[in-house]
Structure 1
Amino acid sequence: MKIVVLVKQVPDSGSERNLRADDATVDRASASNVINEMDEYAIEEALKIAEANGGSDVTLLTMGPDSATEAIRKALSMGPDAAVHVVDDALHGSCALGTSKVLAAALKTLEFDLVICGAESTDGRTQLMPHMLAERLGIPALTGARKLTVDAAKGVVLTAERQTDEGYEVVQAAGPAIVSVWDTINEPRYPSFKGIMAAKKKPVTTLSLADLGIGADEVGLAGATSKVLSSTKRPARTGGTKVEDSGNGGVDLVTYLTAEKFV
């Protein structure tokens, strides 16, 4: 089997994140950048499938600036075989639609039976990418999987338990297909020292927009279908309301909770 995992470098959600003053895009230069957390679960799932199906290989695909190489090498240290990095200055500010166009074009340069990605990215949180890619590539999309079963003996038949608010749905499709996963699907492995050293030697292919036959005006800020009109930083946390118990503490607490519509 040939498996492609989509990965993205994002600002660490545990640190302060800001927008650039000049174009209201995410300020990645001043952020602590990491692999999108959900993508680590996608990588782990791909590796588990590859280990269960001898002769399989796992390739990473990412779109991002030069700094995304750091995320690629860390992802490779988990065990994937190779990576493809789409990098071009004109990609800055691309919306989800433009990003899907680039990733779909890059996927067409690769052979794959299965594409796996995280259900969402912590910087965009649109959950649109697997659907957009499936539409552009003309393949099925099994989204929001909490469990994935692959039957390679039957020509790559995929069965997923799609996580819902009420429980889960069982959906099935024949490959090639794209699957997005939640963090309930597995527990990502930690890179070993051997894996970290091996990652330095694994091949990383770089592609530009010209390589993919995409014009600079079709992506980036120039081709974006949406833009940020205004933004406001989240207000600083303030001290909470303290209910003193001077005999009526219980009543005062219920009154407060009712006023805040907690009860």
Structure 2
Amino acid sequence: MLISAGIRAKIMNVEVFLSYLTSEQVLIGARNALILGTLALVVASVIGLAVALMRVSGNPILAALSATYVYFFRGTPMLIQLLFWFNALPTMFQRVHLAVPFTDIVLVDAPTTAVVTPFVAALAGLALAEGAYMAEIIRASILAVDKGQRAAARAIGMTEYQVLRHIVIPQAGRIIIPAGGNQYIMLLKSTSLASAIGFLELLRITTDIYSSNFMVVELLAVAAFWYLVMTAFATAVQTALEKTFPQR
């Protein structure tokens, strides 16, 4: 019914849609969104693993710190976090100075505005927020591994590190794949939030284009098409991983 109503109302010019579908600017935006989303997932997975291990370590201090991290970053909107990293951080710290301890080697010494670019701010905001979700996914996957297997491994003399590396992590990794794939899809779509801080991802570029030619529906349809393509890519990767590493 909606499609029929749209056709009758002629809300979209198909020729304009097709002309922008493979334009260089739009393809650059789709590429930037894919790169940002993929890097954010990688960083978030590393953060999530560390936080999840802290949460299940049995150490009350580490568990409290990890729980606080998850509560804070999962409880605040991603958009607010992106805006904070891009706007507030350069105000709080005028200059970034990083050096190797006990040496004269300087890694970074530059104004914060030169270091915290829209890409860096978007990556930090998305990765830290997603890290909280990945921490809970990984923690649940670790706890899902049968405790009897851990007890059996300890009984034959394996250390806690060996149990974690050879028994828990391989099985938890298989459990993580479906939920992790869903988070990757969500993260690819969440890259559109980076348009608020000026990062040239897909939505920002299509918005800039229709702001000048007023072809709003056509350009939004182009953006939606490429988000669907990225989602299809993520789904294909998830399906391949699930077939390669089945849970049982």
- Please say whether Structure 1 and Structure 2 have the same fold, judged by a TM-score greater than 0.5: no
Q: Considering Cα pairs closer than 8 Å and 6+ residues apart, tell me whether 1 or 2 has the greater RCO.
A: 2
Q: TM-score, normalised by structure 2?
A: 0.23
Q: TM-score, normalised by structure 1?
A: 0.22
Structure with the larger strand share = 1
